[in-house]
Every structure is written in structure tokens, then in C-alpha cells.
């Protein structure tokens, strides 16, 4: 079974759906989007798998511990963890307060580490597991308007590499760095077209571009510590 964080909407929901289509039971994590989580659950149940909902503020490590207690009570353990929940806040460097820094880093980086730590305890008991961190091409490209986001995602790429070494051979840890796949909902058509032009493939990605990478990494038994860039060649363009 798989836990997907931030599965109540957007990419997280697409990933949960793809895992369910592949036959996995899914723990749907959400923070505030209760209705969205219920919608994800209904969609997954229609696919014939078990789908349960778990609420938690992952910026709070106590809530991470509690989430995994509930998850173990309900499912007895897990095989796959997808760390997808994240914040993407546009804040100029000089306006990033310590509280804003903590908000982003605590979710995007610290939560991924402590969710992995909790997940690994049961994966080790089962003798196998796969962790996939959803990073961002901002890990490789400095985005001045999103400095703390870029830094958190660069950290996530190294977290992936360090955990891959620490947890081998039973557990594989990989990441995906999407480019523009699901831009913010309030982007105009013109802004979407501008974003598409920045890619070598001259289009925005589709959620399926990310979900197929997730399924690939789950099945790729000889791949660990890797970050798969899924960006239509945006990094190639600089």
C-alpha cells in the first residue's frame, strides 16, 4: 500500500489515482482540503482499491508521528511513500521572515525527512520499500522570487541521495523534479503560453507525465538515489 501526502488535489491526487489504477491501496493524506480528500477517496474506491483518509499538518513533527500510528493501525504498514505535499510561496528574498522560512522548509524538506523516517520503520520490517520525493526543477535552477522554495527542493534532492545510501539495499529512494506541469490555477492563458515557450518541447506538461515517472521509479528495481527531471527540456533552455 502507498501513502501519498497532499493527495486531496492537483498532482497529489493524480499520483494517488495512478497508484490505485496500478492496483495499490492508498492512504490519502490531506492538510486542509477535507472535501478534496473525500473526492480523491471516492475516485479511488471506484477503481476497486482500499482508500483511507488521514489529516495531518506535516509541518508539525508530532502530527507526523500520530499520522503514522493511525496509518499502521489501519493498514498495518506501508510499501510506498510519496512525499508530494509542499508550499510554493512567491516572496522576495528581503521579505522572507524566519516564520516564512520555517513554514516552507518545515513542509518541503523537514516533513519529507521525518515522514521517510517513520515509513522506513515499517518498510524495514517488511524487508522492502520505495520512497519518491516530489522535488522541482527549482532544485537545479536558482529562482530568486522563490528562494526558500528553491533551497528546500535542492535539499530534497540531497535528502534523496543520502537516504538512498543509508537505507539500501531494502529501500530505494528516488525523486522526480517536475517542470511546469500544473501551473497555479490563476495563471492566464497568455502566462501559460509564455511558460510553455520556455520548454524545449514547447508545451506544458500533463499530470500523466509525472505519474508515469512515479510508476517507472516504483518498478525500477536497480535505480536508487536518482532524481528524474520531467520538465519538457526546460532546464536545457536555462
Ligand X SMILES: NC(=O)c1ccc[n+]([C@@H]2O[C@H](COP(=O)([O-])OP(=O)(O)OC[C@H]3O[C@@H](n4cnc5c(N)ncnc54)[C@H](OP(=O)(O)O)[C@@H]3O)[C@@H](O)[C@H]2O)c1
Contacts with ligand X by CB under 6 A lie at: 6, 8-12, 30-33, 57-59, 84-88, 107, 134, 136, 178, 180-183
The least CB distance from residue 18 to ligand X, in Å, is: 13
The least CB distance from residue 224 to ligand X, in Å, is: 20
The closest alpha carbon to 161, from 138, 136, 131, belongs to 131
Q: Residue 24 or 139: which CB sits closer to ligand X?
A: 139
- Each as own residue / partner, the long-range contacts of residues 220-224 (CB below 8 Å, 24 or more positions apart, any chain) are 220/174, 221/172, 223/172, 223/174, 224/164, 224/168, 224/172, 224/173, 224/174
The least CB distance from residue 181 to ligand X, in Å, is: 4
CA distances from 149 to 90, 127, 139, 225 (A): 8, 34, 8, 21
The least CB distance from residue 91 to ligand X, in Å, is: 15
The least CB distance from residue 8 to ligand X, in Å, is: 4
Q: Residue 78 or 229: which CB sits closer to ligand X?
A: 229
Q: Residue 7 or 24: which CB sits closer to ligand X?
A: 7
Q: Residue 22 or 61: which CB sits closer to ligand X?
A: 61
Spatial CB neighbours of 123, under 8 Å, sequence gap ≥ 6: 77, 78, 79, 129, 170, 171
Q: Residue 27 or 85: which CB sits closer to ligand X?
A: 85
Spatial CB neighbours of 226, under 8 Å, sequence gap ≥ 6: 160, 164, 174, 175, 217
Q: Residue 13 or 172: which CB sits closer to ligand X?
A: 13
d(CA 225, CA 173): 6
CA distances from 100 to 56, 128, 184, 202, 223 (A): 19, 36, 20, 34, 35
The least CB distance from residue 178 to ligand X, in Å, is: 4
Amino acid at each position: 500500500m502507498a501513502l501519498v501526502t497532499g493527495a486531496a488535489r492537483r498532482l497529489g491526487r493524480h499520483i494517488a489515482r495512478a497508484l490505485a489504477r496500478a492496483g495499490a491501496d492508498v492512504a490519502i493524506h490531506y492538510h486542509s482540503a477535507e472535501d478534496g480528500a473525500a473526492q480523491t477517496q471516492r475516485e479511488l474506491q471506484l477503481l476497486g482499491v482500499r482508500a483511507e483518509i488521514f489529516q495531518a499538518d506535516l509541518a508539525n513533527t508530532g502530527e507526523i508521528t500520530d499520522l503514522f500510528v493511525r496509518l499502521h493501525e489501519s493498514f498495518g504498514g506501508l510499501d510506498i511513500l510519496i512525499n508530494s505535499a509542499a508550499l510554493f510561496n512567491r516572496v522576495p528574498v528581503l521579505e522572507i521572515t524566519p516564520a516564512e522560512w520555517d513554514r516552507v522548509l518545515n513542509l518541503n524538506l523537514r516533513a519529507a525527512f521525518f515522514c521517510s523516517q517513520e515509513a522506513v520503520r515499517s518498510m524495514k520490517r517488511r524487508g522492502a520499500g520505495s520512497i519518491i520525493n516530489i522535488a522541482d526543477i527549482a532544485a537545479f535552477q536558482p529562482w530568486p522570487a522563490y528562494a526558500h522554495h528553491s533551497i528546500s527542493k535542492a535539499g530534497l534532492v540531497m535528502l534523496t541521495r543520502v537516504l538512498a545510501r543509508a537505507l539500501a539495499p531494502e529501500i530505494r529512494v528516488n525523486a522526480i523534479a517536475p517542470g511546469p506541469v500544473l501551473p497555479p490555477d490563476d495563471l492566464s492563458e497568455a502566462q501559460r503560453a509564455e511558460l510553455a515557450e520556455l520548454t524545449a518541447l514547447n508545451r506544458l506538461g500533463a499530470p500523466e507525465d509525472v505519474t508515469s515517472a512515479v510508476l517507472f521509479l516504483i518498478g525500477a528495481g536497480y535505480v536508487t538515489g536518482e532524481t528524474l527531471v520531467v520538465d519538457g527540456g526546460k532546464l536545457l533552455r536555462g
